[in-house]
Amino acid sequence: MIPEPRAVAPHVAPPVLVETAFSADTMEAFEGDPLLETRTALWAVVFAGGIGTRFWPLSSPKRPKQLLALVNERPLIADTVDRLAPLVPPERVLVVTSADIADALHDAIPEVPRANMLVEPRPLGTAAALAWGAHEVAKRAGPDTVFCALHADLAVGFPDVFRDALRRAAALAAAEPMLVALGAHPTRAETGFGYLQPGAPVDPLVSRAEGGACWVDHFVEKPTAALADTLIDSGARWNTGIFVWRARVVLDELTAHTRELQHGLPALAEDDLSRFAELVTSVSIDRGLLERSRRVVVLPTECAWDDVGTWASLRRVRDLDDTGNGVMGPVHCVDASGNVIHADGGCVVAYGISGMLVVSLDGLTFVTTLERASELGPLLNALPGSLRYNPGRHHPT
């Protein structure tokens, strides 16, 4: 028996199961046209707020994580928008962000219309941001429009597999009132991720072993290493934070289950965003909605998903050299292995080191082990504000 960290209502399948979820008509709507230019055209809501202090000193209030080229030569937000296309073209992408970085984000993704930049009056939390995004999708394209919701700071090894998973999830969400979460195959006992424990299959004819969607029995957030091993052995999936649902369905479920938003949702329905922001309490999508709803489904994907959450994660998502170094910029490694090196202000030469993080800016060089780089809170708390928030003398744009 796998222990649950908090009481979560069991997810019981509604009495009408999805016999038509993968019917010919439904799949034709999502696969017949590569751009899905139909009344069921897929939209996207991308969450792109915050500055990501875990990537200090490269990240700062003026250069948030979403604008950094951490995985390849493009900013994370540009990678996210590009990865969605052509399944979701830029004109159907909404980006929820904050006022202080909205212009810089739009400069990085000029193909997304300015009107699609949803600028929060204050940090709302992801559940409230989701509600706003769902409201905008419903207003612009209709309440039964299917959209995916995802964060800008993720990496995907196989974009085609990722888009195929979105198509399959969209077919499910279009057919039945479901909240579909993509579940990635765990490759290690990761203690910093959430896990989705699958239960009964949505379609009795397609088992979990065959890659079928399953109702979610419960969530386990950030387990111990031992519990993570147990979860993986039992078939649990990583919660990717990528969700697919109909606008009407997710708004109804937020109204029914997310008490932190309930006072503000009527104001949102009247397009009074300021009043909505005043009345809601910040809560995450996972805790505020998915752990409370009985309509959550996990759909497996083998898209090689990973979270770009810390410097150490870059060794998993960057292309590595022959000795396992993940480098960016002018870097020369000699007898060095397993390092992450980011040169953003001059050349870096690494000689005879392993398992290290080196970040070089014009005016500042940061060196630590990859192990210590996973949590920079104690370091940042010990630094003067001028160094913590404005590292280096110059930040190339």
Q: Is residue 158 part of a domain?
A: yes
At residue 393, the pLDDT reads 53
Enumerate residues 6+ apart whose C-beta is below 8 A from 388.
56, 380
CA distance 384 to 332: 32
Does one domain contain both 207 and 284?
yes
Does one domain contain both 235 and 319?
no
At residue 391, the pLDDT reads 74
Q: Is residue 94 part of a domain?
A: yes
Does one domain contain both 295 and 330?
no
Chain length of the chain: 397
The alpha carbon of residue 296 and the mean position of all alpha carbons in its chain are separated, in whole angstroms, by 17
Question: Which strand (E) or helix (H) includes residue 197?
Answer: strand 194-201
Does one domain contain both 213 and 89?
yes
Number of domains forming the structure of the chain:
2
Does one domain contain both 240 and 336?
no
Does one domain contain both 65 and 99?
yes
Q: Is residue 113 part of a domain?
A: yes
Residues 363-376 have pLDDT tens digits of: 899 999 999 998 88
The residue whose two tokens read 């707020």 is 49
**Is the bond leading into 57 cis (omega within 30 degrees of zero)?**
yes
Of 277, 307, 337, the residue at which a domain comes to its end is: 307
Task: Read off the pTM.
Answer: 0.86
pLDDT band with cut points at 50, 70 and 90 for residue 211: confident
Residues 86-95 have pLDDT tens digits of: 999 999 999 9
Strands 364-369 and 356-361: antiparallel
Enumerate residues 6+ apart whose C-beta is below 8 A from 353.
336, 339
Does one domain contain both 120 and 132?
yes
Enumerate residues 6+ apart whose C-beta is below 8 A from 264.
128, 275, 276, 277, 278, 279, 280
Q: Which two tokens stand for residue 335?
A: 């007898």
Does one domain contain both 66 and 111?
yes
Torsion of CA 355, 360, 363, 365, to 10 degrees: 0
Does one domain contain both 203 and 265?
yes
Q: Comparing 42-51, 102-111, 166-175, which segment has the lowest mean pLDDT?
A: 42-51
Give phi and psi for 240, each to the nearest 5.
Answer: -75, -15
Q: Is residue 80 part of a domain?
A: yes
Enumerate residues 6+ apart whose C-beta is below 8 A from 9.
292, 294
Helix, strand, or coil (residue 206): coil
- Residue 15: is its pLDDT beyond 80? no
Q: Is residue 4 part of a domain?
A: no
**Structural domain for 195, as ranges:** 24-307
Does one domain contain both 201 and 120?
yes
pLDDT band with cut points at 50, 70 and 90 for residue 1: very low
pLDDT band with cut points at 50, 70 and 90 for residue 52: low
Burial label for 136, CB within 10 Å (0-12, 13-18, 19+), is buried
Does one domain contain both 82 and 146?
yes
Does one domain contain both 365 and 283?
no
CATH number at residue 104: 3.90.550.10
Q: Is residue 397 part of a domain?
A: no
